[in-house]
Structure 1
C-alpha cells in the first residue's frame, strides 16, 4: 500500500468521527473568516505587516532590520527568523497574507500529526484504548478560538509551536 492510499484510508477513518468533521468545518470557517476580515477591516491592523516588511528589509537593507521607524510595531526576533518571511515579501501584500494563512493551515495539520505521534508514544500501551480519544483531543485543539487570532492577525505562534513539538518528538 503506497503512501497516498494510506493517507486516503486514514482520512476516511477519521471522517467517520463526528468531532473530526466538526473540527475540519470549523477550522475551515476560521480560515475563510480571517481572510474576509483581513480584506474588510484588518488589512493595516495586524502583525503580518511586520513580517512582510522584515522579509523585504532583510533582502534590501539588512542594516535597518531593527530600525523601529520602518515598522508599525517593533521587530523583536532573531535576524535569521526574517529568512522565513522573504518568500512572502516577494508577493504583493494581499496575496502574501492569503498564502501565509494557507501555509499556517498546513502548519496546523503538521502540528496535529506531530501531536498525535507524541501522544501515541507517551500514552500507556496497556489501556486497550484505540486512538479515538487522541483524535478527539487534537480536534478540540483545532476547534480552539486562538486559531482565529493566529489567522486574522497573521501571527507566528504556529511556527513556534511546530518547532517546539518537533524538538519534543525528536527527543522522545
Structure 2
C-alpha cells in the first residue's frame, strides 16, 4: 500500500512558479561528467534550444568544426580532461567565430577563470550544481545580449556589473 505524505501544518509555497524562457539557439555543451552533461542538455533541449554535446575539449573542437556556422553559444566546464581545457577551448572557438557566446560551468571557486577570488573580466559563469532556472537565466541573459551586439562588442558577458572607482 502506497500512501502520500501529509502536507506539513502551515506549509505554504513561498514563491510563485518561475517562468522559463524559450530558446531557439544552438548550444554546444562540453562537460566530462556524463550525468551533468545529460542534465544540462535535457534542460536546454526542453527549453527549445538545439543542443550538441561533447565530453572533452578535443571532441568539442570536432563537433564545433562540423557545426561551426550553427553554434550560437558554448557552455563548457572549466576543468576538462585531456589537452584542451575549457578556457583554451573557448579561445579556439572564438578565434574561428568571434560572435559565439561563452558561458563557463564550474564546481570550483578557484580555477583557471578565477583570479585572486575574482572572476576575470568578461567571464560569464554558472556554478555547479545549478538549478534549471539558474541555467535558463544565464543562457538566456548571454544570448539576449548577442542579438543587440555589434561585431566590436565583447563576446563573453560580464557576470557582475563593473563598479565605478
Which has the higher relative contact order, 1 or 2, with Cα contacts under 8 A spaced 6 or more apart? 1
TM-score (norm 2): 0.31
**Higher-helix-fraction structure:** 1
TM-score (norm 1): 0.30
Report the structure number with the largest CA radius of gyration.
1
**Higher-strand-fraction structure:** 2
